[in-house]
Structure 1
Amino acid sequence: MSTATLLSTKPKEQNTENGIERADRSELAKFLSKALADTFLLNLKTLNFHWNVVGPLFYSLHKLTEEQYQDLTGAIDVIAERIRALGFVAPGSLTAFAKLTDIIEENGKPSAEQMIQQLADDNERCARSLRIAVSAAEELEDVKTADLLTERIGQHEENAWMLRAILAA
């Protein structure tokens, strides 16, 4: 087989016999695609704030956002690979993510306080959305997807707690 033939292969839906019907796997892939889009946009926003935060709490906020974006970066890959394991193509463009996410981009120059507030709100938004996805995965007895998303809920809740603690008066 020629290299040109080998390189012409495109990603497509794959049949899998994992005990979950195709229609149900498709529904799970939709939930996971939203989780992927939310995670990607939250990662981008966290990076933005990491790069641009200023003020007396610069160092601690810079370090906290670094920890959070590194976690989100790892989660992006895990979620996308779960979509592939279910037999579907993972979305991978800003256009696709923008259609799927509830995370709102920040195009301005917010204060450190506004940055922290937005990240706390967005982490909670992700946790709420993931709860719906976990319920669907549990109903379909997809323990792997449920476990993956349950772990993400815990991380988003911890992130929100840490960020809100900074805002406490």
Structure 2
Amino acid sequence: MKPNIGISEEHLAEISQVLSHILADEFVLYTKTRNAHWNIEGPNFHAMHIMFESQYTELADIIDNVAERMRTLGHYAPATLKQILQLTHLTEQTREKNDSTGFIRELLSDHESITINIRTQINRLAERLKDVGTSDYLTGLTEYHEKTAWMLRSHLI
């Protein structure tokens, strides 16, 4: 049964496409953060191991929330690795070593990239597609990525 929430079916489909790309980006970032947690090496191993665990735990909740937002709007979330890799704009890995600086730089770049991509959608969703709920959710998601980027960036000074 289709939702009757004051947004046209055409707009709901378009919103779900936006969310599919965001979900894919979040899933790839989650995987990369989990990789950092598992494979970090160096003198600051323990602190980085704990930090990356905190971050991937938050990302797991975000992934679930984005997927549930899509279901709320009457659409299915992409749920295969093939779909995720086709939808994401992120790369799987860009660093060569498993040191904290390499992981942090890569994850920082991804958080900033996701922030930029989400920011381009916020007003479009609210104004053109008439979905202030998803727009508001994405505003909060942008704030999360901005704060996480700041925390990562602070390790590089």
TM-score range with shorter-chain normalisation? over 0.9
Corresponding residue for residue 23 of structure 1: 10
SS in 2 for 1:103: coil
Corresponding residue for residue 53 of structure 2: 66
1:156 maps onto 2:120 in alignment: no
Q: Any idea what the Cα deviations from partners look like across 1:101-140, whole Å, max 9, x if unmatched?
A: 1111128544321110000000001111111221222113
Amino-acid identity (%): 39
1:49 maps onto 2:10 in alignment: no
1:145 maps onto 2:129 in alignment: no
Give the counterpart letter for 1:144 in structure 2: G
Partners of 2:124 and 2:52 in 1: CA distance: 31
State whether residues 26 and 88 of structure 1, in contact with CA within 8 Å, keep that contact through their aligned partners in structure 2: yes
1:40 maps onto 2:27 in alignment: yes
Q: What are the ranges of 5 or more consecutive residues in structure 2 without an aligned counterpart?
A: none
Q: 1:90 aligns with which of 77, 87, 93?
A: 77
State whether residues 28 and 136 of structure 1, in contact with CA within 8 Å, keep that contact through their aligned partners in structure 2: no
Partners of 1:78 and 1:23 in 2: CA distance: 22
Please list every run of at least 4 consecutive aligned residues from structure 1 whose deviation after the TM superposition is greater than 4 angstroms: none
Q: 2:109 aligns with which of 121, 128, 133?
A: 121
| TM-score of the two chains, using structure 1 as the length reference | 0.87
Q: What are the ranges of 5 or more consecutive residues in structure 1 without an aligned counterpart?
A: 1-13
State whether residues 38 and 103 of structure 1, in contact with CA within 8 Å, keep that contact through their aligned partners in structure 2: yes
Q: CA RMSD in A?
A: 1.4
Q: Could you tell me how far 1:141 is from its partner in structure 2?
A: 2.9
**How many residue pairs get matched?**
155
State whether residues 28 and 133 of structure 1, in contact with CA within 8 Å, keep that contact through their aligned partners in structure 2: no
Which of the two has higher C-alpha Rg?
1
